[in-house]
Amino acid sequence: MSNEPLYQEAAAAYDFGSEIQSITPYGGGHINDTYLVTCADNQYVLQRINGFVFQHPDEIMENILGITRFIAEKLAAQGEDPARGTLTILKTRDGADYYVDSTGQYWRVTLNIQGTTAFETADSPEMLTKSGAAFGAFQSMLADYPAETLHETIPHFHDTPARYHQLAEAAVNDKMNRLREVTDEIVFVHDRKADCAILMDLLEKGELPLKVTHNDTKMSNVLIDNKTGEAVCVIDLDTVMPGLTAFDFGDSIRAGASTAAEDETDLSKVHFSLDLFKAYAEGFLREAGGALTETEIRTLPVGAKLMTLEVGMRFLADYLNGDVYFKIAYPQHNLDRARNQFRLVEEMEAQWDDMMAVVESYL
């Protein structure tokens, strides 16, 4: 069924306060269907939640509503504008927080934060610092939120030992008869098996606190003010769930501190940049440092290494399984991605003392 009548049906479920002038496709996301609703006096973002990727949209909305209202209250208490500093969920005409259409699909509407831009990548270290500040402020605002009350929208998402076992299973099954091509990569991962459990072991021992984590901390999920150039708001909250601060920090570093795209095949161009690591850490720890324990700060480089290793393992497992999860442009795409990530891991290990010195300077 076409989504056209569905988005019109969904829009009709809301009172936007003035007549709708247009509804147009919006943004570059690949998971949810997103539309910009332009009215006479405001703009709104209408989204269909992808029920295949997120099988419990009601739980996602419960998470989002909980944290955005929590942040909004703090912003208001500080004299700041909640409608600009966090997402605002619009209620339906019936007073519900989301709309279920005639086919059972879930829709939501948020106020569009105008005068801002979401950039796909950071074009300078300064912009990376602003991204770090945005996600650091997100951590700080939610430091006292009861993370254990959040739903786990994607179970074991950053459980690195579980990801290791998924790769091991893919190697044993060898569905596509590709194992012989990846011997070096399998050995590389096996040599770091013990590292995979570092963060999860610290969590289990109670040495790292469970926190609210975003789990998709890429540059494009930060809105930048068009006039001031400052970070305004963190968006795309579907993957918010309980986790570790090192997860969010590490995922940002994995992408932000690399000198090449994650599918660059010329590994001589793939480097871990300590300067970019410093730039992100500066913004992140300036905003979040006071809300973090000493152990959390010391394990931020571990998060960078493990999130990079973890994604590399996921690419490699998908290659062995026949490329059933990640979209590919050519047969060896996932293998090239894995090798790229493993190269970054090697470079992080080579600069480990320097990475530790950066974060320890904030203790």
Q: Based on the fold, state whether residues 101 and 159 are members of the same structural domain.
A: no
Q: Based on the fold, state whether residues 176 and 315 are members of the same structural domain.
A: yes
Q: Write the Ramachandran bin of 322: left for phi over 0, alpha for psi from -120 to 50, otherwise beta.
A: left
Q: Based on the fold, state whether residues 156 and 85 are members of the same structural domain.
A: no
Which CATH number does the domain housing residue 67 bear? Answer: 3.30.200.20
Q: Based on the fold, state whether residues 27 and 130 are members of the same structural domain.
A: no
Residue 50 is predicted with a pLDDT of 86
Helix (H, G, I), strand (E, B) or coil at 238: coil
Which CATH number does the domain housing residue 348 bear? Answer: 3.90.1200.10
Residue 21 is predicted with a pLDDT of 95
Token digits for 173?
């099954």
Residue 119 forms part of a structural domain: no
- Provide the domain count of the chain: 2
Q: Token pair 């932000």 is at which residue? A: 256
- CA–CA separation, 177 and 207 (whole Å): 42
Which residues constitute the domain of residue 42?
3-114
Residue 55 is predicted with a pLDDT of 81
Q: Based on the fold, state whether residues 83 and 146 are members of the same structural domain.
A: no
Q: Based on the fold, state whether residues 215 and 330 are members of the same structural domain.
A: yes
Residue 181 forms part of a structural domain: yes
Tens-digit pLDDT profile for residues 90-143 = 999 999 999 999 999 999 999 999 999 999 889 899 999 999 999 999 999 999
Residue 120 forms part of a structural domain: no
Which positions of the chain have pLDDT values less than 70? 1-4, 28-30
Model pTM?
0.92
The per-residue DSSP string of 178-217 comes to -GGG-HHHHHHHHTTHHHHTHHHHHHHTTSS--EEE-S--
Q: Based on the fold, state whether residues 137 and 192 are members of the same structural domain.
A: yes
Residue 1 is predicted with a pLDDT of 42
